[in-house]
Every structure is written in C-alpha cells, then in structure tokens.
Amino acid sequence: MSSILDAMKQAELESQNSHVTEEVTHTRLVDNTPRFKSVFPMAEVPVDETRPASMDGVVGAAEAIVDLYRMIDRVADTSCTVLITGESGTGKELLARAVHGASPRRDRPFVAVNCGAIPEALLESELFGHARGAFTGAVATKQGRLAQADGGTLFLDEIGELPLALQVKLLRVLQAREYSPVGDTRTLSADVRIVAATNVDLEEAARNGAFREDLYYRLNVIHLAAPPLRDRPEDIPALAGYFLERARVKAGRDRVTKISRQAAEMLCSYGWPGNVRELENTIERAVLLSGGSVIEPRDLPPKLQGFGGSEARTGPRLSDRGVDLRKAVETFENQLIRQALEKTNWNKKRAAELLGINRTTLVEMLKRKRIEAA
C-alpha cells in the first residue's frame, strides 16, 4: 500500500467533500472549508486502502467497492474472463473499463457490444464478422468486433440476451480462442479478454435452460458484483460531489459549486432504484435548474421531496452483505460528536452538555478517536 496513493485518495475524498456545504446559518460555517467531512460518514471511511490507478473515475470507498478494487488489482496482470453483475446503473460498464485499464491490454482497444440491442440476425456478423456474399447485402468482407478488439478487451454487455446459437460460438472462443466469420470456412484465432455484464441472474437462467450452463461457468471465472447504491449510502456525498463537478463543467454553469445540507440529506436518504446513473442524472438536472451557486432541495426532483431531514430519517439500513456493528456504532458516535462540536464552535464544555457526557469524558474520547478541529 503506497503512501502516495493513500495521500492522493485522501486528497480526492476531501476535494469531493468540499462540494457540500452547510446552509449559512452559523458564522463558523460561512467559509468554504470542507464541512461535509465532519457531518457525513465519509470521514469515517478508512483511507488506508489503495486502488489501481486505472480505477480513476470510479468513485467509492464503501467496503463493497473497495473489495472490487482489490479484486481488479489481483487479476490485473491476467487475461481471465470476468463476469460483472449488478442492477441497472450500478457502474458495470465503468468496472469493465477499469478491468481493461488495469490490464497489460490497456493500450489495445476496448470494444463494447450490447448483446441486447442488436437484432439476433445481425449479432453474429457484428461479433464475428462476415465474408463477402455471406448473406444478401453482404457486399464486402466485414471485420467483426472480436477482430477489432484484437489484443484488447471485448465487453459483452447484457450477455443474458445472447441467443443460444451464439452462446455455442462464444463458448468456442472462450475454450479454444477461435472462431469463424459468417460465410467463411476459415478458423481465425481470437486474442481477446472477454468481460461480460448482466443484470439478470445467469445462474437461474442456466437452471431453466435460457443460458448454457457450460458458458456460464466459463464466463464466471472472476465475478465482480456491483453493489446497488442503496447498499453503500456512505458513497453518495462523494459521488454527488464528483457529478456536480462534471455537470457544472459540461453545462458551463461554473457558479454552481455547492450542495446545501438539506439537499445533501435528501440525496443521502433516497433509495436510488436507478442507482448511480439516477444520481448522476439528478445532479445534472439540479445544476441546470439551480438559480444560484448552491443546489437546494427545490432543484431536486419531486420524488426526492420528503426524503432527508430529521423527520424522514429512518436510520441506518442493514445491507445484504451485513455490517460491522462495532464500526457502524463508532461511525455514528463520531458523527454526533463532530456535530456537537460544530454546533458549539468547538466549545467542549457545551458540546459535552449536548451529548449528555462530562467534559473530561469528551476530551478523552476526542484524544482516543483522534478527532481534531478541521
């Protein structure tokens, strides 16, 4: 774990946090120093994890995401097949690009094919190419995506939609690294890494015959499960900051630089069925709608109204992956302590009163937890 990477990551987190500010209701908070850090769980994310440089552009420090960085790092120097699963908008394509970027194939093409978007009749020729005269309209020889990806990575999106006939042909690519273009008797060799993605349960599809079981096992050598955003709400502030930065540049709205505390709470409390893509679109829209420099609740879509604020707070949600209870309690405790300190302008006596503990107990806790004024 390199300390330079640690430092870079820390700096990245801090700059992302700096997009979110308190409402200016407290004199201490009028300046632009990062406040979000001390209010949201981001501050408690361990910063001793590194990630491959190729993960640039992938934002997230939640345990489930850090596991993915680790896995991508571990298989970086191989060409093993990778299967990425996850709900729509969770970042499957971004992860596929990260796998490519971390591999020695990074200087060769990354070619994406959406198996669900191309009509079945065209898909075979799209993937494998065709010979001249192979079918009506095949007026010239055409190179397939497999050949275009030579030496690089072929990303097969929505692999669950691949017709059974083509599943056999893909199996041949995976097993023997060879294929034949449509209407061509030659056998060509394929030097590609296959990364496939799906939001359907392929194991289930294999059980009921919609997907070849042998292909499923061949694809599922390394499995990356992109977590839904609702299972990693601690990443929402950083993602929101990241998308804000991108959106203000894209829309030429330089003046929009902050997200108000209330709007940030709404973002953190919403369930995000459309995952990261929905958050990205929401921020883009808010940047366009915002009349000032701060994104306010009124700039967020109606479906988010009613989320956030103390009355709508439902407390932490237990994800399917479970939780480290001690860490979670510690995080919660640290957040309340930081809030008490901020509210009292770091007056430890008054902060201790707000927390219902002795001043000396608070001082001891601050020392043990290494909490200092920003």
Ligand X SMILES: Nc1ncnc2c1ncn2[C@@H]1O[C@H](COP(=O)(O)OP(=O)(O)OP(=O)(O)O)[C@@H](O)[C@H]1O
Q: How far apart are CA 316 and CA 335, in angstroms?
A: 13
Residue from 93, 191, 214, 284 touching Mg ion (CB under 5 A): that is 93
What are the tokens at 229? 């955003």
Of 26-34, 54-62, 180-188, 217-225, which segment contacts ligand X by CB under 6 A?
54-62
Least distance (Å) from ligand X to the CB of residue 138?
Answer: 30
Question: Within a 10 A sphere around the Cβ of 287, how many other Cβ atoms?
Answer: 24
Q: How far apart are CA 155 and CA 83, in angstroms?
A: 10
Toward ligand X, which CB reaches closer, 23 or 203? 203
Least distance (Å) from ligand X to the CB of residue 94?
Answer: 4
Site for ligand X in 134-153 (CB under 6 A): none
Q: How many residues bind to ligand X according to rule CB under 6 A?
A: 18
Q: How far apart are CA 251 and CA 181, in angstroms?
A: 44
Q: How far apart are CA 42 and CA 24, in angstroms?
A: 21
Residue from 34, 41, 52, 60 touching ligand X (CB under 6 A): that is 60
Residue from 34, 41, 91, 144 touching ligand X (CB under 6 A): that is 91
Residue 52 contacts ligand X per CB under 6 A: no
Toward ligand X, which CB reaches closer, 125 or 198? 198
CA contacts within 13 A on the Cβ side of 174: 23
Residue from 41, 52, 89, 241 touching ligand X (CB under 6 A): that is 89
Residue from 32, 33, 78, 88 touching ligand X (CB under 6 A): that is 88
Question: E-assigned strands of 6-90?
Answer: 82-85
Of 58-66, 257-265, 323-331, 343-351, which segment contacts ligand X by CB under 6 A?
58-66
User: In the chain, helix, strand, coil percent, each to 5?
Assistant: 50, 10, 40
Q: How far apart are CA 26 and CA 308, in angstroms?
A: 20
Residue from 12, 67, 73, 93 touching ligand X (CB under 6 A): that is 93
Residue 67 contacts ligand X per CB under 6 A: no
Of 91-99, 130-138, 203-211, 293-301, which segment contacts Mg ion by CB under 5 A?
91-99
Partner interacting with residue 60 (select from Mg ion, ligand X, none; CB below 5-8 Å by kind): ligand X
Residue from 59, 68, 247, 286 touching ligand X (CB under 6 A): that is 59
Q: How far apart are CA 214 and CA 172, in angstroms?
A: 11
Residue 276 contacts ligand X per CB under 6 A: yes
Residue from 66, 76, 94, 371 touching ligand X (CB under 6 A): that is 94
Cα distances (angstroms) measured from residue 145 to each of 10, 181, 271: 39, 11, 37
Toward Mg ion, which CB reaches closer, 34 or 91? 91
Q: Are 149 and 192 in contact (CB under 8 A)?
A: yes
Residue 86 contacts ligand X per CB under 6 A: yes
Least distance (Å) from ligand X to the CB of residue 55?
Answer: 9
CA contacts within 13 A on the Cβ side of 181: 21
Q: How many residues bind to Mg ion according to rule CB under 5 A?
A: 1
Backbone angles phi, psi at 153, to 5 degrees: -125, 135
Q: CA nearest 144: which of 181, 177, 96, 112?
A: 181
Cα distances (angstroms) measured from residue 168 to each of 107, 152, 165, 195, 355: 29, 22, 6, 17, 64
One-letter identity of residue 132: R
Toward ligand X, which CB reaches closer, 93 or 333? 93
Residue 225 contacts ligand X per CB under 6 A: no
Residue 87 contacts Mg ion per CB under 5 A: no
Residues that bind ligand X (CB under 6 A): 58-60, 86, 88-94, 199, 226, 239, 242, 276-277, 280
> Which residues form the interface with Mg ion (CB under 5 A)?
93
